Amino acid sequence: MEDKYSVESAEALANEALRLPISEAVPVYEKLLATFPTAAKYWKQYVEAHMAANNDDATKQIFSRCLLNCLQISLWRCYINFIRKVNEKKGLEGQEETRKAFDFMLGYVGSDIGSGPVWTDYINFLKSLPAQNSQEESQRMIAVRKVYQKAIVTPTHHVEQHWRDYENFENSVSRALAKGLISEYQPKYNSARAVYRERKKYFDEIDWNMLAVPPSGSLKEELQWTAWKRFLAFEKENPQRIDTVSANKRISFTYEQCLMYLYHYPDIWFDYATWHAKSGSIDSAIKVYQRSLKALPDCVLLRYAYAELEESRGAIQAAKKVYESLLGDGANATALSQIQFIRFLRRTEGVEAAKKYFLDARKSPSCTYHVYVAYATMAFCMDKDAKIAHNVFEIGLKRFMHEPGYILEYADFLSRLNDDRNIRALFERALSSLPPEESVEVWKRFSQFEQTYGDLASMLKVEERRKEALAKISEGAPSLENSLQDIVSRYSFMDLWPCSSNELDHLSRQDWLTSNMKKKFEKSTLTNETGQISNSNISSKFIYPDISRMVVYDPKQKPGLTTPGLPSTSPLPSSGASSLISTSGIPPVPNVIPKALPPSLASFIASLPPADGPLPDVDYVLSICLQSNLPVAEPGKLATQPQVGPASSDVSGSSKTHLFKPRDRQHGKRKDADSMS
């Protein structure tokens, strides 16, 4: 299969296996189930193929592989049918084996909402058992009664039928005894029936034919994830108010069913294990984590969660094995796994163990500057050893001088030591070796340091050097120009500013304008009167807009006011519209602009509120609207024919081409609506 998890390819393989003899179909099924190990329908198809060929041993092996991971009623009913078939001629021994199989089955899937037929089959099986004497008859009736009483308190599709059958059964045995038993179980049955109705709402939202595929972010997958989360939340509320053991068993069953479909979702595995741990069943949580690592071997998050659980219960060696599995052979270990293992060793085995591993990790080709920073920070903050931390940073500096992130971390460490002399030396060493495009953050931190701890002369000197260095990589940026933004930067602290928010906005706009003005003057391309760029190096097929009239929008700017150094934003006079528009790159008006407007349109325009910001040329816009060939409906049709869709969708969608279609006299007869325009 091209796509390993392609549902279409999987269905094609399953259909192909159906047409093959079992000997040839086995490798096809194995390949299919290796990809979809929780697909109960494929397991059922596989086992039925062996059953049809009377391969009892192979059938038993397949059931042992799939039953506990695929809690689906149809597959389990196939299992019980196989057990009954194998034991039907074995007499009392076979009957006992079948009874055990029923108990085993109902112990796992008896709480399923679709398990009603299984309960019925078990009851009928018990009723069919022979009784040689009154004692055996009494034992048989007791067994049937117990199964009935479990069935009527289980919220299934058949709970009402089970209740009616139970009433008939008790009345057939003893009317006197039936009255007391029925009155005792009536409230329990009513509760089960009410819970069934609620449970069915969640059950119906789930796609029970879905295959377990890795999440791709599709809407269907998200809806299924949400449906399962809601179903799990419902079961955790214990709506039937049953005992804790039974409630936990039902919740666990729901999680197992959920994993059949959301097998590749790490959050479901984590939720399941966490629920077990909070319920006091640490061993069950560990088993869930172990299963999750087999299902998702590349999921690092689940490994950390598993190691955390082992460490929290004191199983240090078990947790260490999990960390070692993340490290692999060491050569391919990630920097994060090395850091977390150092921290784990520091917590569990002490300082020397962490130091020993750090010395080994330094030799790994996958060791990054993050490992040095993590170990140095741990030595400084946890072991209170500033000398070792300083030595680690210095050793790392020889290897990671080209990493701005490492320089900044080292500077933070020196700041904690109040070592301003070495901080300046560090910045100078780093900036002398870093290329300009990678030194932006280092220069920024150097400036901040001088603004906080330096004198005025050193502060201004670093600012000038910073501008000179960054001017080489910032196209059009003012290299040595001073602005009020420099004062803002120097005299701000945290969220305290030396100016109002309006002043800050104004300064930001001015900086933006200055930067763009520089770019405009430095460009070698010239624009002609129509706004098209006349650079011979640029293809003539590209039409560029005229940006000479572009302004920075200011909501407080009133019509008619101008920004210094920029064109006016007031509307163009209609008398000279044609000439002005033609020089700005807008096509000239095709015909004379009409001066007289219909009264209704004039009234509408007069009622419009004043607009803030640049205004359009109203006469030009109206001339385009009035000269467009708009379709006009025939009289009387607007009232009788409903509109198919909103007008806005027609104009903005693919059908807008026919609404403003120019007149065409060369293509046959026109419609009546066109002739009316």
pLDDT in tens, 183-198: 999 999 999 999 999 9
212 touches 179 (CB < 8 A) = no
Q: Is the pLDDT of residue 575 over 60?
A: no
Classify residue 658: in a domain, yes or no. Answer: no
Average pLDDT over residues 350-368: 92
Q: Is the pLDDT of residue 387 over 60?
A: yes
The CATH number for 82's domain is: 1.25.40.10
CA distance 153 to 143: 16
Residue at 65: amino acid letter: R
Residues in the chain: 677
Residue at 643: amino acid letter: Q
The confidence band for 620, taking pLDDT boundaries of 50, 70 and 90, is confident
- 3-state SS of 79-125? HHHHHHHHHCCCHHHHHHHHHHHHHHHHHHHCCCCCCHHHHHHHHHH
Classify residue 582: in a domain, yes or no. Answer: no
- Give 331 or 529, the one with higher predicted confidence: 331
Classify residue 225: in a domain, yes or no. Answer: no
User: How many structural domains compose the chain?
Assistant: 1
Average pLDDT over residues 655-660: 37
Domain that holds residue 87: 7-197
User: Across all residues in the chain, what is the average pLDDT?
Assistant: 82
* Per-residue confidence (pLDDT) for residue 563, from 0 to 100: 41
* Per-residue confidence (pLDDT) for residue 270, from 0 to 100: 97
Predicted confidence (pLDDT) per residue in 116-133, tens digit = 999 999 999 999 998 888
* Per-residue confidence (pLDDT) for residue 134, from 0 to 100: 86
Q: Is the pLDDT of residue 655 over 60?
A: no
Predicted confidence (pLDDT) per residue in 198-217, tens digit = 999 999 999 999 999 999 99
* Per-residue confidence (pLDDT) for residue 353, from 0 to 100: 95
**Vertex 84: Cα angle to 83 and 87 (nearest 5):** 85
- Give 639 or 284, the one with higher predicted confidence: 284
CA distance 456 to 444: 17
Residue at 503: amino acid letter: E
Predicted confidence (pLDDT) per residue in 429-460, tens digit = 999 888 888 888 999 999 889 888 888 898 88
Task: Specify the range with the lowest mean pLDDT, choosing from 155-159, 247-251, 667-671.
Answer: 667-671
CA distance 595 to 589: 14
Secondary structure of residue 490 in the 3-state scheme: helix
* Per-residue confidence (pLDDT) for residue 537, from 0 to 100: 44
Classify residue 552: in a domain, yes or no. Answer: no
CA distance 409 to 445: 11
Classify residue 175: in a domain, yes or no. Answer: yes
Give the DSSP H or E segment for 442. Answer: helix 440-453
The confidence band for 517, taking pLDDT boundaries of 50, 70 and 90, is low
Residue at 329: amino acid letter: D
Task: Specify the range with the lowest mean pLDDT, choosing from 286-290, 544-548, 578-582.
Answer: 578-582
Classify residue 220: in a domain, yes or no. Answer: no
CA distance 56 to 70: 20
Radius of gyration of the chain (CA): 40
Q: Which segments of 382-439 does DSSP mark as H helices, in order?
A: 386-400, 404-416, 420-433
For residue 573, count other CB atoms closer than 10 A to its CB: 10
* Per-residue confidence (pLDDT) for residue 483, from 0 to 100: 73
Predicted confidence (pLDDT) per residue in 60-90, tens digit = 999 999 999 999 999 999 999 999 999 988 8
> Helix count (H) and strand count (E) of the chain?
32, 0
* Per-residue confidence (pLDDT) for residue 554, from 0 to 100: 54
* Per-residue confidence (pLDDT) for residue 493, from 0 to 100: 84
Long-range contacts of 439-443 (CB under 8 A, 24+ apart): 439/404, 439/469, 439/470, 440/470, 440/473, 441/404, 441/408, 442/404, 442/407, 442/408, 443/469, 443/470
Average pLDDT over residues 526-530: 44
Angstrom distances, CA of residue 658 to CA of 295, 589, 610, 633, 672? 56, 22, 33, 14, 15
Q: Is the pLDDT of residue 583 over 80?
A: no
Which DSSP category does 493 fall into? Answer: B
Classify residue 295: in a domain, yes or no. Answer: no
Classify residue 204: in a domain, yes or no. Answer: no
Long-range contacts of 367-370 (CB under 8 A, 24+ apart): 367/335, 367/338, 368/335, 369/396, 369/399, 369/400, 369/403, 369/405, 369/406, 369/409, 370/335, 370/336, 370/339
